[in-house]
Structure 1
Amino acid sequence: METPAFGSGGASQAPGTWGEWNPTEESIQPVRGRHRVAKQRNGLARSSTVLGVGVMAAVGAGGIATAQDKPAVSISLPDAIADSLPDAKSLPGIGSLGGEEAGTTDPLANAPLTSAGLTVTEAEQGATDAGEALRARIIQQAERQQASADATQKAAAEDAAAEKAASQAKARLSDAEKKIEAAKKKAEAEAKIKAEQERLAKLAASYSLPTSSYTITSTFGQSGSLWSSGYHTGLDFAAPTGTPIKAVHSGTVTSAGWSGSYGYRTVLELEDGTEVWYAHQSSLAVSVGQKVSTGDVIGRVGATGNVTGPHLHLEVHTAGGTGIDPMAWLQGKGINP
């Protein structure tokens, strides 16, 4: 078929006028291969392919030609460009423009461009605006972070409160332990005092004064020319002649008779080996080998031996034979002469 000259508008057109040119599939053949296009400064034309010759013929002297009422013409691109273009299915909101089949299950296929960035879950939940969805995600993340911070702060506060309570409980326990310990020591001291009192009471019950109605006239260690040793070796109980003399504790009589300057003397040996000497008696009431109990009468007060008047001279000797103070010894047994 013969094609009229470009811009002639056919034989019926008047000279000097431009007619409408509508390219058809028969008149336009696909362009193949690579074509160089002059580089433009604005950077909009960097491709090496002419995308359509119909665009150049659309401008006439009287205005812009349209092809709205004509059949669509296919435009071919070089293989290098066509292969690098993205698939229309992967562009949200472009599916229907790119020839997507009806009934697609992609919730974003027919969505507007503002839905770009929405997740499938957000789209299924009815979200249509990516900005609002992003804002919602940011708010949710901030709320989760705040909740986590609040939980951490609450846990730290609870730990601090628990530690403080434990410290206070420990302090109270320590104070209680101190009070208990003080009470225990006080009770032990009181019990010790009571035990000592009971011991002394028991000793007092098992020990007895050697005589009654007496007056202490000389004490142990007192110096003077009246005693051959230069000092007094016992404790003197001045009492009327014939006043009963008693055993200060249970024991055995080891000596009973005359003993020089001591006059009539009785020696009573106690269970621990201690010896108690009773001197200057007017008479004896026991014999050697006899066992006596506390308070038993063993003789009478007299003035025999080296004396200045009737009295009981009492001496105490340890098991080793050393003379000790009778006053202190009796007081140690709970007896106060």
Structure 2
Amino acid sequence: MASNRPAPQGAYVPNDDDFGGYEDSSWEEWNPTEESIRPVRGRHRVHKRGGGGLARSSTVLGVGVIAAVGAGGIATAQGGKPPVSIEMPDLSAVTDSLPEAKSLPGVGSLISDDSSDSAAADNGVTVAAAPLSAAGVSTADAEQGTTDAGEALRARIMEQAENQQDQADDAVQKAAEEAAVKQAAEQAAAKQTAAEKKIAAEKAAAKKKAEAEAKAKAEAERLAKLAKSYTLPVASYTLTGTFGQPGSMWSSGYHTGLDFAAPTGTPIKAIHSGTIKEAGWAGAYGYRTILELDDGTELWFCHQSSMNVSAGQKVTTGETIGRVGATGNVTGAHLHLEVHPGGDSTGVDPAAWLRGKGQSL
């Protein structure tokens, strides 16, 4: 649309009545020139009455209004003429027959009475239009701004997948927590069991130790008591032969007793009280005395130089029954002692037997 030059102001000088007698000297008469009255290019179409309809667009109406205003201004400037009256076409008949814009397909979503949309538009925020089809779009989807049925379905599937993943994660976490609790309980139970076993073992060891100490104490008391009723056969001696010692000088191939080497004539004492079962010559044993104890054990005292008792005689512990000699099969003066429990021909180690009676060799 062509633009017009602004209309010059008319050479109007107000009188005294207009301003209460005040005359402004800045007003002057306007003399039109060739440049100021150059004709306006283009022509405007003037609306004629009787026409109507949508063909007359808002653009034409706008031009008409501008032209009317311009004409009125010129008329006023040129002589104070009244403004030109322009009549607007009556469009009520047309607008009444038109459908509501919101009911048009694809247009209703573009028109919103919500003030929030206007505020969003004022703030430069693009407001999403509602979906043309509401299939698969729930109220929550609409509130969340989902504008497409496929997008809504995708969102719901993703939400369901996330829920399932959360449930799986919760199950895994719960299983891990239960496993941790179970493991902690097992470890606690194992520690408790180990502690109980340790305590039980310590108690058992203490009990065993106490029992051993008690047994040793009892044995010591018994030996001390026995020591009073038992004694060694000679007071001063040297052990020159032990039980079981091998050698060709013994007819059995090994030594059957314990040898106490001492000078000839050294007193031989009764080891314990008992009865003299035999006293006399015994071949390789030389002069031998057999003392039978109350439990049937026989004590043989061999190689004596002399004997002080006879068979059937009662003797007591420490009583002299003979003297050390070198009779029989010997290489020097000594006492050969044998111990035969129950009168058996096979003897036992005299050293162990004496220690069992509280004697120290």
TM range, smaller chain: 0.3 to 0.5
Bigger Cα Rg? 2
TM-score by length of 2: 0.43
